[in-house]
Amino acid sequence: MSFLALEGLEKTYADGTRAVRGIDLGIEEGELIVLLGPSGCGKTTTLRMIAGLELATGGAIRLAGRDVTSLRPSRRDVGMVFQFYALYPHLTVRENIAFPLRAAGVSPAEVSSRVDAVAARMDLVRLLPRYPKQLAGGDQQKVSLARAIVRRPAIYLMDEPLGTLDADQRLAMRELIRAEQLASKVTTIYVTHDQEEAMSLADRIVVMEGGRIRQVGTPAEVYDRPASRFVATFVGSPGMNFIAGEVVPGAAGPAGEGTFVAAQGKVRIDVPSARPGEVTLGIRCEHVYEDPLGPIAGSVVTEEYLGNASNVHVETEAGRLIMRTDSQSRRPRGSTVRLRLDPGYISVFDARTEERL
């Protein structure tokens, strides 16, 4: 039995909006799970139902073996983190961290020992008597995380907590959260629409769309073997390249080998174990290579320099493809190239259902 189990969880609002349409998910103790999806996918509603801030209209929530579906938030032993707010400037680090415990009516002795414990774990002890303005930026973030997690509930629920921070702070905070979660092993459910945040933080990612779960897997599984075109597009920056075409039985290949044909037969690619039919072939930009003997011809439209790499946009006979290259090689606009796809990383989707085949 999972530590946290969502069973057929549903939320339909009074106006008929079906925000969550039947979710089944098991989460193990100590896992960091990220609910990822575009706005309106139901991720925040799901989190709020786990917290007890919304009541489910169907299904059940079990936490550590206990049915908490209709319990009040305060009875569930969950800690909700909305945002890493700025620190109170007039309070010391100790007082800042103690604040949520004091607000919850915890006894002074208990407050003191818990602040000491979190400060020791996060290497903040020497900073406890200081005021926020005496701290370096990175230490301020550490303190705000310490304050957010000083209550030690069975589960942390984090709803886009990095939303208001700028890019550098987000990166630093992401690392802090990961380090702290690895150290404390408190089960954490983290909601975001930022796929990079999801990839970097999660033990497992739950991709949601339209109130349903579209895929559950490790970051590598979701990235390499997306369950649908939606997941393939949403995860990754840029999203996956797609080529529309058809799989025909392979001519001379081994049994089960098919040939993908696109662009009126001008593009032919062997794809292992694909059934004949109309398909969409998917490939990530880092698995597209320049190869004079490659099966796809095109010309360079744009090169996006990214510092540590470049994304080269190539208009091909099978549509536009993005190829990731190291940033040292330069390809002038308009130059013709031939492309090869790494066969180990080709995804094949049903053209009609858009599901992975």
Partner 1 sequence: MSARAVDVRDGAAPPAAGDVSRGEPPAPAAAGDAAFLSVRGVSKRLGHTQALRDIDLDARADELLVVLGPTGAGKTTLLRTIAGLETPDAGSVGMAGQDVTAVEPAARDVALVFQNFSLYPRWSVRRNLEFPLRAPGRNIAEAEIQRRIGWAAEILKISRFLDREASRLSGGEMQRVAIGRAIVRRPRLFLMDEPLTNLDAKLREALRVELVELRRTLRTPMVFVTHDQAEALSMADRIVVLSEGRILQTGTPREIYERPVSPIVALQLGQPAINLLRVRRAGGHWVTADGTPLMPALPTGPGERLLGIRPEDITPDTAAPAGAPGDAGEPSGVVKIVEYIGPTTTLLCEWAGARVHIMIPRRGQLRPGDRIRPRIDAARAVLFDVASDTKLPSTGGSA
Residues near partner 1 (CB under 8 A) are 38-39, 166-168, 171, 174-175, 178-179, 182, 193-196, 199-200, 219-220, 223, 233-239, 284-286, 301-302, 304-309, 311, 313, 324, 327
Q: Which DSSP string do the residues of 5-65 spell out, in sequence order? A: EEEEEEEE-TTS-EEEEEEEEEE-TT-EEEEE--TTSSHHHHHHHHHTSS--SEEEEEETT
Tell the smallest beta-carbon distance from residue 145 to partner 1 (Å).
14
Q: What angle do CA 244, 247, 251 make, to 5 degrees?
A: 140
CA atoms within 13 A on the CB side of 140: 16
Tell the smallest beta-carbon distance from residue 323 to partner 1 (Å).
12
236 backbone dihedrals φ, ψ, rounded to 5°: 100, 145
Q: Which is nearer to partner 1, 130 or 178 (CB)?
A: 178
For residues 22 and 10, the answer to whether their CB atoms sit within 8 Å is yes
Tell me which DSSP letter residue 73 carries: G
Q: Which is nearer to partner 1, 151 or 324 (CB)?
A: 324
Q: Which is nearer to partner 1, 63 or 208 (CB)?
A: 208
- DSSP E strand stretches across 64-138: 66-67, 78-81
CA atoms within 13 A on the CB side of 283: 25
Tell the smallest beta-carbon distance from residue 312 to partner 1 (Å).
11
Integer Cα distance of 8 and 46 in angstroms: 11
Strand partners, 63: 4, 66
Integer Cα distance of 256 and 236 in angstroms: 30
Q: Which is nearer to partner 1, 71 or 172 (CB)?
A: 172
Tell the smallest beta-carbon distance from residue 346 to partner 1 (Å).
16
SS3 label, residue 110: helix
Q: Which is nearer to partner 1, 15 or 168 (CB)?
A: 168
Q: Which is nearer to partner 1, 97 or 285 (CB)?
A: 285
Q: Which is nearer to partner 1, 84 or 234 (CB)?
A: 234
Please state the separation of Cα 187 from the chain's center in Å: 16
Tell the smallest beta-carbon distance from residue 1 to partner 1 (Å).
29
Tell the smallest beta-carbon distance from residue 79 to partner 1 (Å).
22
Q: Which is nearer to partner 1, 14 or 136 (CB)?
A: 136
Tell the smallest beta-carbon distance from residue 201 to partner 1 (Å).
8
Tell the smallest beta-carbon distance from residue 26 to partner 1 (Å).
23
SS3 label, residue 337: strand
For residues 212 and 42, the answer to whether their CB atoms sit within 8 Å is yes
Paired sense of beta strands 258-262 and 241-249, if any = antiparallel
Q: Which is nearer to partner 1, 135 or 301 (CB)?
A: 301
Tell the smallest beta-carbon distance from residue 93 to partner 1 (Å).
21
